[in-house]
Structures are given as C-alpha cells and as structure tokens.
C-alpha cells in the first residue's frame, strides 16, 4: 500500500486513516516513513508493541528529543521543552511528577464533582434553547473550566487564558493560526501569565487554591536532599496541563456527539437513564480516543519485528491504531461498551508518562454524557462539521448542532 504521511496534519481533515493503520498492523507493524520536513519516523501500530514501548522508557526516551511530533528548531527550544515532565525521563520525570501527582489523585479530583455537575447542567440548559450551537464551544468551555479550576486559575483570567491555550493547542489549524508559522509569542504569553500567577501565589498563598499552590509549595526529599521546582519549571506546567487538559477532553465530548448523530441508536441503552456508566466512557476512548500518538526517540540500536531501529530514530506510538488492534480487541471497529477486555491505551500504555489527567477526564466525560443522556432526546447536525487540522489530536474545529430535549 502507498505510504501515507502520518505526520501531515492535513491528512486528518478526513478523519483518522483507519484502513491504512489496519494495513500497517497486518503487513508492517513496525514501519519506516520518510518525512518531507523532518528526519523520518517509525510507526508502531500493534497493541503489544505500543504497550511494551510505552513501558520501556530506557529504550524509548521522551527526553532526548521531546514527546512532540514536531522537531524542536534548536537546542535551546529543546531545553525549554525539557522543563516539563512530559519531555523528561526518569529519574527527573519521577521527581517532577511526584511534586504534582497528589493534586490529580482520584480523591482530589472527585471533590470537583459538584462543580462539574453544576457546569454541565448550565451548559445543557443553554444547549436546549432550540438554537444552533457549535458543540466544540460547549465542550471546550466545560473542559477548560474544569482544568482551570483544578489548576487554580482565577475566574477573571479564564477567557484570556482560554484564548491563549486554544492557540497553543490548535497551532496547526489555519483558522486558529492563519500563517501556520511558529508563534513563540503565544508560548511567551502563556509563560508570562504563569509567571504572574506564581508571583501572586508566592505573595499570598492563602488567597489561592488548586494545583498552582501545591506546585509553589511542593517539596520532594530524595537522599536527604530537598527538591523544589524552579520558577522556570513552575511556569512550564501551565502550557502542559492546560493544553493537555483542554483539547483532549473537549474533543472526546464532541466525538461522542458526532457518533450520536451518525448513529442515533448508539447510546440508546442509556438514554433517559440516570447516569453514564464508566465503561461507556472507556469504550468511547478506545474506539475514538482523541490522542492519536505520542513520540519517542530510540536510545540504542535494536531490532523490533525484523526491523533495525537505530539510536536517535524517531518512533511514533500509534494509540489510534493499537486501540483497534484485532489481535487484542475482538471486532475492534464496533462500539461495544460490554466488551472485555477494555484495557485501551487512549491514556497511554501504562508507562511512566501515563496520562496524569485521566481521572479528571473520565469524571468530566461521565458527568457530561450522563447529563446529555438524561436530558437530550437527539442531536441534529445543523451544518457541515469541520475537523481540526492537527497530527496528534483527532478533533473538531466546528460542529454545529441543534439539541432536542427529552
Ligand atoms: C480524554 C482526555 C485525555 C486523553 C485521551 C489523554 C491522553 C494522554 C496520553 C495518551 C498521554 C501520554 C501517555 C504516554 O506517553 O504514556 C497523556 C499524558 C499527559 N496528559 Fe493526558 N489525556 C487526556 C486528558 C488530560 C487532562 C484532563 C489533563 C490535565 C488536567 C492531561 C494532562 C496530561 C499530562 C500533563 C501528561 C504528561 C504526563 C507525563 O508525562 O507524565 N490529560 N495524556
């Protein structure tokens, strides 16, 4: 089969190339792809290989070249990327992640339930006014409010910060970034915002709440040595958590509504019921999860399924493909919330970088879908939906809908 360039963001304007990924799994599970504007890359498309590579951080590094598909344009840019733990390897990664992880524990996240319920209820009230709504805006508002609250962003700052976060997250789409050129000033704006908030928190910690307070005060003692985050490291958390939290969860919500319009019977067993069972969320994430891949860099020459991977090679772990691997999931293209096993890799394959926001994303999705199942009888498309131009997130730019009440 002719090679598709899986790092070309335009490819995904027509959706995830499922047939091509299936072909790779069957014929070339470890497949080299040349890259017009980069060094070329391997694609790991089978479930077992993605899980194994995810766990083998010694061989597949996040620190060497970062975890983004795009190459850093300079060593300096790479250094900036490495300030955040997604672009580090253990032990640095372990230490940094430990400094924030308690803010993301299930108990901590569960405390947000009343706020999420209230936000869902308000948003669905608005959605049910008989008018056309872009569901992307509804989903973004919900997921941004949740992640901003968890993080501790004051209410008044949120509209401005949402605009910056969207520009960072959707930088490959010409509607959001008309020149499609690198825009360091947007990242600078995010860092400047972060630096300002960190300074305010330091000056008066009692006036603030959320992860940002934990970050400023966090300490980890290792071998008798106390580690704290530097100001540069603190500021680096802002884009990582806000971008990681905004688009992913929002895209998953919009994808659920898209699936509902495509097949109005898909959620029938739960419509009119009281809640969305957790396995519905898990199966949605397996079937159409929003994160298509993450990047690693090989640290040593080795062989995988007969292919010679060399130290320094770029390797993409295709979660979109692994989640449809028929060697692991029976009838993988079918949405089936009863399936077992349901051990998808939408949040990663269980290695050190497993999504830190998974509990929050699951809760958001369960509560928003629960509210929609309870109150919405059906969705109607109110115009052509438009996919986002992006090579790492499978998402939507616009999805106009009318929601009909139950
Ligand atoms: C449906 C929603 C989400 C999906 C599908 C998702 C998916 C992922 C995936 C696949 C990874 C990489 C795993 C790996 O490399 O092993 C990841 C990492 C990460 N995610 Fe998420 N994510 C979601 C929501 C969130 C939310 C809500 C937040 C923040 C509140 C978040 C913050 C992060 C961060 C900071 C990392 C890096 C973790 C590390 O390197 O240790 N994500 N996510």
CATH number at 57 reads: 1.10.630.10
Q: What is the number of the ligand 1 atom nearest to the C-alpha of 151?
A: 30
Average pLDDT, the chain: 94
Most confident of 5-14, 69-78, 183-192: 5-14
CA of 346 to the centre of ligand 1 (A): 9
Range of the domain at 159: 9-378
Residue 391 lies in a domain: no
**pLDDT confidence band for 107 (50 / 70 / 90):** confident
Residue 244 lies in a domain: yes
Residue 386 lies in a domain: no
The response to whether residue 403 sits with its C-beta less than 6 Å from ligand 1 reads: no
Helices (H) and strands (E) in the chain, counts: 14, 14
The response to whether residue 329 sits with its C-beta less than 6 Å from ligand 1 reads: no
Q: What is the number of the ligand 1 atom nearest to the C-alpha of 365?
A: 1
The response to whether residue 289 sits with its C-beta less than 6 Å from ligand 1 reads: yes
Cα(274)–Cα(369) distance, rounded to whole angstroms?
10
Q: Give the list of residues 6+ apart from residue 288 with CB closer than 8 angstroms, or none.
A: 16, 252, 255, 259, 394
Q: Which residue has the higher pLDDT, 125 or 231?
A: 125
pLDDT at 377: 97
The response to whether residue 237 sits with its C-beta less than 6 Å from ligand 1 reads: no
Residue 389 lies in a domain: no
pLDDT at 57: 98
CA of 354 to the centre of ligand 1 (A): 7
Residue 272: asked if its preceding bond is cis (omega within 30°), the reply is: no
Task: Give the residue, out of 151, 357, 392, with the most ligand 1 atoms within 8 A of its beta carbon, to mutate for a pocket test.
Answer: 357
The response to whether residue 291 sits with its C-beta less than 6 Å from ligand 1 reads: yes
Cα separations in angstroms, 247 against 40, 211, 239: 27, 19, 12
**pLDDT confidence band for 184 (50 / 70 / 90):** confident
Residue 402 lies in a domain: no
Task: Give the residue, out of 92, 145, 234, 244, with the most ligand 1 atoms within 8 A of its beta carbon, to mutate for a pocket test.
Answer: 244
pLDDT at 205: 92
pLDDT digits (tens, 9 = 90+) for 189-211: 999 999 999 999 999 999 998 88
- DSSP result, 72-112: PSSHHHHHHHTTSGGG--TTHHHHHHHHHHGGGSHHHHHTT
The response to whether residue 292 sits with its C-beta less than 6 Å from ligand 1 reads: no
CA of 299 to the centre of ligand 1 (A): 23
CA of 355 to the centre of ligand 1 (A): 3
Residue 231 lies in a domain: yes
CA of 405 to the centre of ligand 1 (A): 33
The response to whether residue 357 sits with its C-beta less than 6 Å from ligand 1 reads: yes
CA of 282 to the centre of ligand 1 (A): 15
Q: Treating both helix axes as pointing N-terminal to C-terminal, what angle do 113-127 and 135-151 enclose, rounded to 10 degrees?
A: 160
Task: Give the residue, out of 89, 233, 248, 355, with the most ligand 1 atoms within 8 A of its beta carbon, to mutate for a pocket test.
Answer: 355
Cα separations in angstroms, 317 against 67, 241, 277, 337: 10, 21, 29, 25
Q: How many residues does the chain have?
A: 406
Residue 255 lies in a domain: yes
Start-to-end Cα distance in the chain: 47
Residue 37, pLDDT above cutoff 90? no
Q: What is the number of the ligand 1 atom nearest to the C-alpha of 88?
A: 40
pLDDT at 339: 97
Any bridge partners for residue 379, and if so which?
Answer: 403
Cα(370)–Cα(165) distance, rounded to whole angstroms?
27
Residue 114, pLDDT above cutoff 90? yes
CA of 248 to the centre of ligand 1 (A): 8
Q: What is the number of the ligand 1 atom nearest to the C-alpha of 147?
A: 30
Domain total in the chain:
1
Task: Give the residue, out of 347, 349, 369, 395, with the most ligand 1 atoms within 8 A of its beta carbon, to mutate for a pocket test.
Answer: 347
Residue 64 lies in a domain: yes
**pLDDT confidence band for 221 (50 / 70 / 90):** confident
Write the residue with the smallest CA distance to atom 41 of ligand 1: 353
pLDDT digits (tens, 9 = 90+) for 292-303: 999 999 999 999
The response to whether residue 267 sits with its C-beta less than 6 Å from ligand 1 reads: no
Cα(277)–Cα(302) distance, rounded to whole angstroms?
43
Angle CA(329)–CA(331)–CA(336) in degrees, nearest 5? 85
Tokens of 122: 């308000």
Please answer whether residues 120 and 142 qualify as being in contact, where contact means their C-beta atoms are separated by less than 8 angstroms: yes
């Amino acid at each position: 089969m002719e090679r598709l360039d899986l790092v070309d963001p335009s490819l995904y304007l027509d959706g995830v190339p499922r047939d091509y990924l299936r072909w790779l799994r069957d014929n070339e599970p470890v497949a080299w792809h040349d890259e017009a504007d980069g060094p070329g890359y391997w694609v790991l498309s089978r479930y077992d290989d993605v899980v194994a590579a995810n766990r083998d951080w010694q061989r597949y590094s996040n620190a060497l070249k970062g975890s983004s598909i795009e190459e850093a344009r300079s060593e300096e840019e790479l250094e900036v990327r490495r300030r955040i733990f997604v672009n580090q390897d253990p032990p640095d990664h372990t230490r940094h992640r430990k400094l924030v992880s308690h803010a993301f524990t299930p108990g901590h996240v569960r405390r947000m339930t009343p706020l999420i319920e209230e936000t869902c209820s308000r948003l669905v009230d608005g959605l049910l006014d008989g008018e056309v709504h872009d569901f992307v805006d509804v989903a973004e508002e919900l997921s941004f409010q949740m992640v901003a609250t968890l993080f501790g962003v004051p209410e008044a700052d949120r509209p401005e910060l949402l605009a910056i976060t969207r520009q960072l997250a959707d930088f490959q789409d010409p509607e959001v970034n008309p020149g499609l050129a690198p825009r360091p000033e947007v990242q600078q704006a995010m860092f400047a915002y972060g630096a300002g908030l960190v300074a305010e928190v330091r000056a008066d910690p009692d006036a603030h709440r959320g992860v940002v307070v934990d970050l400023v005060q966090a300490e980890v003692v290792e071998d008798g040595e106390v580690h704290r985050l530097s100001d540069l490291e603190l500021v680096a958390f802002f884009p990582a958590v806000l971008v990681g939290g905004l688009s992913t969860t929002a895209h998953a919500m919009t994808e659920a509504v898209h699936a509902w319009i495509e097949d109005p019977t898909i959620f029938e067993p739960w419509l009119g019921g009281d809640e969305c069972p957790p396995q519905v969320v898990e199966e949605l994430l397996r079937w159409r999860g929003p994160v298509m891949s993450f990047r690693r860099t090989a640290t040593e020459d080795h062989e995988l399924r007969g292919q010679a991977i060399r130290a320094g090679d770029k390797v993409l772990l295709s979660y979109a493909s692994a989640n449809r691997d028929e060697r692991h999931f029976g009838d993988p293209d079918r949405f089936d919330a009863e399936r077992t096993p349901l051990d998808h890799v939408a949040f990663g394959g269980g290695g050190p970088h497993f999504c830190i926001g998974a509990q929050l994303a699951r809760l958001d999705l369960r509560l928003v879908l629960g509210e929609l199942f309870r109150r919405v009888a059906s969705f109607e498309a109110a115009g052509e939906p438009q996919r986002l131009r992006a090579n790492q997130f499978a998402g939507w730019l616009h999805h106009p809908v009318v929601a009909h009440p139950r």
